[in-house]
Amino acid sequence: MFVLEETILKKPSVLYKDTFLEWLSEAHAENTYIFWDYNTVKNDFQSFVDSQLSKEIMCPIGNVPESVYWIINNNVMLGRISIRHQLTDKLREKGGNIGYQISKSYRGKGFATKALELALVEAKKIGLNEALLTTDRNNYASQRVILKNSGELISDLNKLNDHELLKYLISINHIN
């Protein structure tokens, strides 16, 4: 049983290996996160966790610092959310400051909305005053998540690789 208010963000940890692998399996079934090979991650999970944690301190050239969190409820990893500390031109076009994905099994239950709310608090802690988020024009669920967190549509003209993207800005100055 999951209680929405008990949703928390946790840094990646080997404690959540089984539920992370379930999430990754579902993501692969949707043709997402395919750059993470399931068997490689499964067989050396500690190295995978370490690589996720190192993004804040040791970013590959061309990338920006990124805080990665797993969305946890009742000791189950429901999804992931990441906060990019800075924006490149590419991230301004697609990706923005915050990106998230909830396991298909847990969508439509408010977990993404709660996770974004929690991520905005973390974004403020790292010094962001606002967060840019992008989503596909047809991803109505993600649009609702962003709007429920005070997102304001700033552009609907962005087209990238035949995908129409919407850009939202969320002011986080008011968050405690």
163 domain residue, yes or no = no
The answer to whether residue 49 sits within a structural domain is: yes
Q: Is residue 142 part of a domain?
A: no
Is 110 inside any structural domain?
A: yes
Indicate which CATH number applies to the domain containing 25.
3.40.630.30
- Beta-carbon contacts of 141 under 8 Å, excluding residues fewer than 6 positions away, are 107, 108, 112
Closest by Cα among 67, 79, 101, 69 to 19: 79
Which whole number is the average pLDDT over 7-11? 98
Cα gap 105→90, rounded to integer Å: 31
pTM of the model: 0.91
Domain count, the chain: 1
Q: Which residue segment(s) compose the domain that 102 sits in?
A: 4-128
Q: Is residue 167, in this structure, part of any structural domain at all?
A: no
Whether 143 maps to a domain, the answer reads no
Task: Report the candidate in 86, 84, 24, 83 with the shortest Cα–Cα distance to residue 49.
Answer: 24
**Residues 42-52: pLDDT tens digits?**
999 999 999 99
Residue 152 falls inside a structural domain: no
pLDDT digits (tens, 9 = 90+) for 50-87: 999 987 765 554 578 899 999 999 999 999 999 999 99
User: Residue 37: how many CB atoms within 10 A of its CB?
Assistant: 12
Please check whether residue 124 is in contact with residue 172, taking contact to mean a CB–CB distance below 8 angstroms.
yes
Q: What is the pLDDT of residue 83?
A: 93
- The pLDDT assigned to 28 comes to 93
Position 22 in a domain = yes
Please state, in angstroms and rounded to a whole number, the distance separating the CA atoms of residues 115 and 101.
10
Contact residues for 151 (Cβ-Cβ < 8 A; gap 6+): 133, 168, 169, 170
125-137 pLDDT, tens digit per residue, is 999 999 999 999 9
Report whether pLDDT(94) > 90: no
Dihedral sign for Cα 35, 52, 140, 156, please.
negative
Q: What mean pLDDT, rounded, does the chain reach?
A: 90
